Structure 1
Amino acid sequence: MALQPGVERLACMAHVRRKFMEAKKVQPQGKTGRADVALSSINKLYSIERELKDFSDEQRYIGRQEKSLPELAKLKALMEKTQPQVTPQSALGKAVSYLAHNWSRIERYIEAGFLPIDNNAAERAIRPFAIGLKAWLFSDTPKGATASAQIYSLIETAKLNGQEPYTWLRHLLEHLPHAPSVEDYKALLPWNCSPEMTR
């Protein structure tokens, strides 16, 4: 998907934070280290996101440019200063290398107000599916497992777009046989259906 033209990848700030949390665990206790400095910047970025949560995409974009951009610059400066001074296999080295390797994808979220700082929402959405994996070991066939994954994807997409999943799926299955064109298919997608249409 990410290799398709026009699709740009984002990286997850929560993964960056986890790497620096691991580095913090192994630094001398009672001392403030570079992992703490990085975590402070990351926590400020998340604090800014909480402030901007209820803003419009345009307002969030402006807020990120004013507040997040300077904090990202500090984080990048720390990364560039620290990377040549640490061994790549140390916990801090791994955190800094991860940040450096993914930097362009990590900072990309400030380019538009609708882009998320992390993929926590996606991870929360798939958690029930991941928990159910053991229960679904007995899907009987690979096609059954594929069908299960596809239905789950439809349900989560419906939820993400404000639809009640059962009602939207019923609407989809009732209207799909009468949809002769691509435009008709597109009209059935959850982001194109108002909740009133699916009742």
Structure 2
Amino acid sequence: MGALRAELVRKDKALLFKQTLVDKLTHENAVLKRLKFAAQSEAYTSEQKSLLDETFDMDLAAVAREIENAQPKKPDGEKRQPKRAPLPAHLPRHDVHHEPASTTCKCGCTMKRIGEDVSEKLDYTPGIFTVERHVRGKWVCAECETLVQAPMDPHIIDKGIPTTRLLAQVLVAKYLDHLPLYRQEAIFERAGMAIARSTLAQWVGECGVQLQPLVDALTAELLKAPVLHADETPVPMLKPGKGKTHRAYMWSWCTTQFHDIRAVVFNFAETRGGQNARDFLQLGTSASWKGSLVVDDFSGYKQCFDMGVTEAGCMAHARRKFHELWVNHQSKVGEQALKFFQALYDVERDAAGLGIEDRRALRLERAKPVADALKQWLDEHRQKVPGGSATAKALDYSRRRWEALTRYLGDGRLPIDNNWVENQIRPIALGRANWLFAGSLRAGKRAAAIMSLLHSARINGHDPYAYLRDVLERLPLQPASRIDELLPHRWHAPHQD
């Protein structure tokens, strides 16, 4: 009796949690609809309003999918078939046939084909729309009237019209090629198919929800690495109803070039507060990450180093201070410092292809004497320049962070600088000029998630479009226990027939 009561309590708690989640998402859905149709949106420019509308439509579709996922599944008989206009008759069509593996009935008779069901999906290759017709033959046994029909594989957007090729094209164009949906709408119209940007936005929103488990798996894989790069870059984010933006941040986390796994994960946050870094690294929890973090001197990371994370400095940032002195003021101090840094980077070029221990040995043999000489030179010249000057600030930056800056000398796993992650966030700066802003926190997080997959595919040498297309094709059938097989560093392109 006690076990039954405990089971009832557990189920009540589970139902309460699901209902609370549904209520939260329903409220968010109502807020989004109110914001979308509110008169305040007129305060934006026409281009801003276009991008804002896209964001709302994506968020609404994402919330609707999350509500659907959170609610109990309905019996098949209760499913409602969506009504939509037929695809244009002028588009070329090619058939994909689905027939039973065997047309011999269980009673031993040979079945007869009595008809077929046809569903159509919109396909796209750059500049050309076609229609993919899925033809499912109906086979019946004349003796026992058994009806057999081959099923269709589930789709990333249930009952949706786009093929995975079209979805991959939209996502790659938006998040890798920086084309907002209103521009894609015009491109598609020129190709002969007018797809409303609200429809494109719904597709993006639904795909974002479906891809999130894969991004979560990528994040878990990233946090197994003993050394990580971290950096952050500002992205304007709209405050709906206020007609203006505020500064949000895209945080970038990636493995080093010396690690076996190449992965980058972007994390969007409304602020630059250090709590974002601590939350990502799960500091203060049982899963707290313990490793070396390669960062600049941003204060937001400082508390991480009091919670078990080891700080590794960025020599490129230290060098940059002296480079600015030399470029802007033809400073002799800057020129002399750059020679020391050049010698350190010469060693790194020779060490790049070595193993961890050989890299460490080479650094200790050739780079450590240079670093020791640089430290002595910094201390001597600091006594000769007045405090507060640009030269003093450049000297103090390196002297203050010396232990972190030179930690790489004794650890062959550590890179000399943070340039690897800075190269990963350059596409964000390019996209910023085209997105203009992130339309909401949810939109920023969706962009971060999809960009994590696309850029991880890119740095692993894959074609991001081919990768995403295959993932969207396989994801609905992929067991949750094997989702890591679809991660960019484990993915293999399918064999072409």
Would you say 1:195 and 2:486 are equivalent positions? no
Alpha-carbon displacement from aligned partner over 1:83-140 (angstroms, at most 9, x marks no partner): 3433332121111111122222211222333422222222222212212102112554
Residue from 467, 473, 483 that aligns with 1:168: 467
Alpha-carbon displacement from aligned partner over 1:136-181 (angstroms, at most 9, x marks no partner): 1255433223211222222222333344333333444445453334
- Is the contact between residue 57 and residue 114 of structure 1 (CA under 8 Å) also seen in structure 2? yes
1:64 CA drift (Å): 1.3
**Correspondence for 1:96:** 395
The amino acid that maps onto 1:106 is: L
**Correspondence for 2:27:** none
The amino acid that maps onto 1:70 is: P
Structure 1 unmatched runs, 5+: none
Would you say 1:15 and 2:312 are equivalent positions? no
In structure 2, the residue corresponding to 1:85 is in which secondary structure? Answer: coil
| Worse-superposed segment, 134-143 or 46-55 | 134-143
- Is the contact between residue 168 and residue 198 of structure 1 (CA under 8 Å) also seen in structure 2? no
The amino acid that maps onto 2:420 is: A
| Worse-superposed segment, 168-177 or 140-149 | 168-177
Would you say 1:179 and 2:496 are equivalent positions? no
Change (3 A) 1:175 1:97: farther
The amino acid that maps onto 2:293 is: R
Q: Distance in 2 between matches of 1:176 and 1:58?
A: 40
Higher Cα Rg: structure 1 or 2?
Answer: 2
Indicate the RMSD between aligned Cα atoms, in angstroms: 2.8
| Worse-superposed segment, 71-80 or 164-173 | 164-173
**Correspondence for 1:65:** 364
Matches within 5 A, 1:70-85: 70-85=369-384
Change (3 A) 1:100 1:176: farther
Would you say 1:26 and 2:26 are equivalent positions? no
Would you say 1:37 and 2:321 are equivalent positions? no
Change (3 A) 1:81 1:172: farther
**Correspondence for 1:137:** 436
| Worse-superposed segment, 70-79 or 115-124 | 115-124
Q: Distance in 1 between matches of 2:361 and 2:474?
A: 41
Change (3 A) 1:75 1:198: farther
The amino acid that maps onto 1:155 is: L
- Is the contact between residue 83 and residue 96 of structure 1 (CA under 8 Å) also seen in structure 2? yes
Q: Distance in 1 between matches of 2:429 and 2:473?
A: 30
- Is the contact between residue 9 and residue 105 of structure 1 (CA under 8 Å) also seen in structure 2? no
Q: Distance in 2 between matches of 1:151 and 1:114?
A: 29
Matches within 5 A, 1:101-140: 101-137=400-436, 139-140=438-439
Residue from 150, 163, 172 that aligns with 2:449: 150
Among all aligned residue pairs of Structure 1 and Structure 2, give the percentage whose two residues are the same amino acid: 35
| Worse-superposed segment, 62-71 or 148-157 | 148-157
Q: Distance in 2 between matches of 1:99 and 1:20?
A: 10
The amino acid that maps onto 1:14 is: A
| Worse-superposed segment, 170-179 or 123-132 | 170-179
The amino acid that maps onto 1:131 is: L
Structure 2 unmatched runs, 5+: 1-276, 284-288, 295-312
- Is the contact between residue 485 and residue 491 of structure 2 (CA under 8 Å) also seen in structure 1? no
| Worse-superposed segment, 87-96 or 1-10 | 1-10
The structure whose residues are more often helix, as a share, is: 1
The higher relative CO (CA closer than 8 Å, separation ≥ 6) is in 1
Change (3 A) 1:38 1:139: closer
Q: Distance in 1 between matches of 2:417 and 2:495?
A: 31
In structure 2, the residue corresponding to 1:9 is in which secondary structure? Answer: strand
Q: Distance in 2 between matches of 1:156 and 1:57?
A: 26
Q: Distance in 1 between matches of 2:339 and 2:409?
A: 18
Q: Distance in 2 between matches of 1:197 and 1:48?
A: 41
Q: Distance in 2 between matches of 1:188 and 1:59?
A: 33
| Worse-superposed segment, 114-123 or 66-75 | 114-123
